[in-house]
Amino acid sequence: MSHLSEWLETRIENTKKAGLYRELRTMNMAPEPEMFIDGWKQIVFSSNNYLGLANDERLLGEANKALLDFGVGSSGSRLTTGNTEWHERLEEKIASFKQTESALLFSNGYLANVGVLSSLPEKGDVLLSDQLNHASIIDGCRLSKAKTIIYDHCDLSDLEVKLKETERYHRRFIVTDGVFSMDGTIAPLDKIISLAKRYHAYVIVDDAHATGVLGENGKGTSEYFGVSPDIVIGTLSKAVGTEGGFVAGSKALIDFLLNHARTFIFQTAIPPASCAASFAALEVMEHSKEKRNLLFSHVKKIQASLKQMGYNVKGEITPIIPVIIGDAEKAVKFAEGLQAKGIYASAIRPPTVAKGESRIRLTITTDHDSKEIDYLVEVFNLIGKELNLIK
Ligand code: PMP
């Protein structure tokens, strides 16, 4: 064995010893609540397909038509040969959905965050970033020439202290997830924006988990709070059901990013067929209030039942329900117990969450029915007792 392989094997052994080893699972079909995973039938409580759109006939139909017209790939970056009318139509749609002047597509949400954060704040600026922000925000901050300061999770007084401490910096940007991916908390965007106005800072919100879900028409945290952040970043890979990332904001912002965001300039455009599917999804989403209400009633039912059993359930009314187990190995055992009973939900462990905060992260979709929800609750009762987590 080469030195490199030996060294890597030792590192993997250490990961295994720490209970942090990860493996891929194979989904044997299109996303549905009930799926074959590695050949086993499981009810999935781990998908981001919150509104069940990933396999929706209307999206498939539009994607199919565009596929025949434009082929399977875009074959170039947007600034060379990859730009089609579908990219432009989708950007216009996103801007109108997010009620901004303009929007720009990226390959995914990860690269949208990295693109904005690595290009916009400059040396002499400061980025105030929530402690629990997504990895793509953390990586964007790392690539930025601005200084990054972390504030306590959704803690407005800590944010204000840090705004006061950074008055000597040139520009200040507050960056936050709209809905936090591992905790299911909703950022108090109205209060963050008030603080930002008082201290002359700009607000960037990553609305990955709120798009399609929060607000009267599913437009996200801005609609939920009735506010307008300076920059909205998002992904099409969750409630929208497709793929791609976007930034929505002023015309000047979009023009700047088109010229300066390296993850926009140097990446191949997403396939036109994917844009066509996203366009159809956004049209559907604006008229999905009943679906959203169904989603929230599922969430409330599960949260109440698990809390009553004695579980430590985090989060607000979002499709993400984190159930804290604590120890990483116990969380893995719990997930294995769920799988043995036909339920697929991920055990989330460090470094994704803090040590001692390992959890089962449930996500709920509108495609789950009440029988599946009741079964989930029943199995949580069973496994919690088996592992001495509840009485
Ligand atoms: N931001 C947040 C909050 C996320 O949860 C995710 C996806 N896990 C992303 C950004 C990245 O989006 P994408 O999957 O489109 O790269």
pLDDT tens, position by position, 267-277:
999 999 999 99
Cβ burial of 188 (10 Å; 0-12, 13-18, 19+) is middle
Q: What are the residue boundaries of the structural domains of the chain, listed by start?
A: 20-51+289-386, 57-285
Q: Which atom of ligand 1 is nearest to the CA of 180?
A: 3
The pLDDT score that the predictor gives to residue 145 is 98
- Give ligand 1 pocket residues (Cβ under 6 A): 108-110, 113, 134, 136, 177, 181, 206, 208-209, 235, 237, 245
State how far the alpha carbon of 289 is from the alpha carbons of 271, 300, 301, 317, in Å. 29, 17, 18, 15
At which residue do the structure tokens 């509840």 appear? 390
The pLDDT score that the predictor gives to residue 302 is 98
Q: What is the DSSP letter of 389?
A: S
The pLDDT score that the predictor gives to residue 28 is 84
Neighbours of 118 (CB within 10 A): 20
Q: What's the CATH architecture for 20-51+289-386?
A: Alpha-Beta Complex (3.90)
Distance 370 CA to ligand 1 centre (A): 28
Ligand 1 pocket mutation pick from 237, 246, 270 by most atoms within 8 angstroms of CB: 237
Answer yes or no: CATH 3.20.20.70 is held by domain 57-285: no
Q: Are 236 and 242 in contact (CB under 8 A)?
A: yes
Q: Which atom of ligand 1 is nearest to the CA of 181?
A: 5
CA distance 113 to 143: 11
ipTM greater than cut 0.95: yes
Query: What would the pLDDT profile of 25-81 be if each residue is shown by its tens digit?
Result: 888 888 889 999 888 999 999 999 999 999 999 999 999 999 999 999 999 999 999
Mention every residue, 6+ apart, whose C-beta is less than 8 A from residue 170. Answer: 122, 124, 125
Distance 34 CA to ligand 1 centre (A): 24
Task: Show the low-confidence residues of the chain (pLDDT under 50).
Answer: none
Fold match flag (20-51+289-386 vs 57-285): no
In terms of phi and psi (left: phi > 0; alpha: psi -120 to 50; beta: otherwise), the region of 17 is alpha
Neighbours of 367 (CB within 10 A): 22
The pLDDT score that the predictor gives to residue 99 is 96
Nearest CA, atom 12, ligand 1: 109
Distance 109 CA to ligand 1 centre (A): 5
CA angle in degrees (0–180, nearest 5) for 324-327-332:
85
Known catalytic residues? 181, 209, 238
Q: Which atom of ligand 1 is nearest to the CA of 134?
A: 3
Q: Which atom of ligand 1 is nearest to the CA of 237?
A: 15
Ligand 1 pocket mutation pick from 235, 238, 242, 243 by most atoms within 8 angstroms of CB: 235
Nearest CA, atom 5, ligand 1: 181
